[in-house]
């Protein structure tokens, strides 16, 4: 049996992402809905104050990229609206991810509700 670096990487990616039934299929419309919710939550001034975050959200490749951008979005919202409101907005956004990312990731999002 031949072991290649690509099969090794595929195995590692599967380990971290979970199996395909757990990941769920994120449709392009689901990804776009979450993307728009994140951009709305950041507000119109985000394009001038946080252009890199706005671009990263706008051009994120998949649902997991958007999931991991939540911390950056939280920081951007908190700078304008305060941390309490930012956490409320992010909690609503995080609910959109349920069933689209591995359940092990969404279980940890409860820590944001301090």
Per-residue pLDDT of the chain (114 residues; tens, 9 = 90+): 444 555 555 555 555 555 443 444 689 999 999 999 999 999 988 889 999 999 999 999 999 999 999 999 999 999 999 999 999 999 999 999 999 998 888 875 554 554
67 φ, ψ (degrees, to nearest 5) = -60, -45
User: Would you state the pLDDT for residue 95?
Assistant: 95
Q: Is residue 106 part of a domain?
A: no
What is the domain extent for residue 76? Answer: 27-97
User: Would you state the pLDDT for residue 107?
Assistant: 75
**Structural domains of the chain, count:** 1
**Residue 27 contacts by C-beta under 8 Å, 6 or more apart in sequence?**
none
**Cβ(32)–Cβ(4) under 8 Å?**
no
Distance (Å) of CA 17 to CA 54, 93, 104: 25, 20, 10
User: Would you state the pLDDT for residue 67?
Assistant: 96
pTM score > 0.85 for this model?
no
Q: Is residue 50 part of a domain?
A: yes
């Amino acid at each position: 049996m031949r072991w290649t670096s690509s099969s090794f990487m595929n195995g590692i990616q599967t380990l971290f992402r979970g199996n395909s039934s757990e990941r769920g299929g994120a449709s392009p419309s689901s990804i776009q809905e979450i993307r728009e919710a994140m951009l709305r939550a950041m507000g119109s001034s985000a394009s001038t104050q946080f252009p890199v975050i706005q671009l990263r959200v706008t051009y994120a490749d998949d649902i997991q990229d958007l999931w991991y951008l939540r911390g950056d979005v939280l920081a951007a919202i908190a700078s304008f609206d305060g941390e309490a409101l930012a956490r409320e907005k992010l909690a609503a956004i995080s609910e959109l991810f349920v069933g689209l990312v591995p359940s092990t990731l969404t279980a940890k999002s409860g820590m944001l509700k301090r």
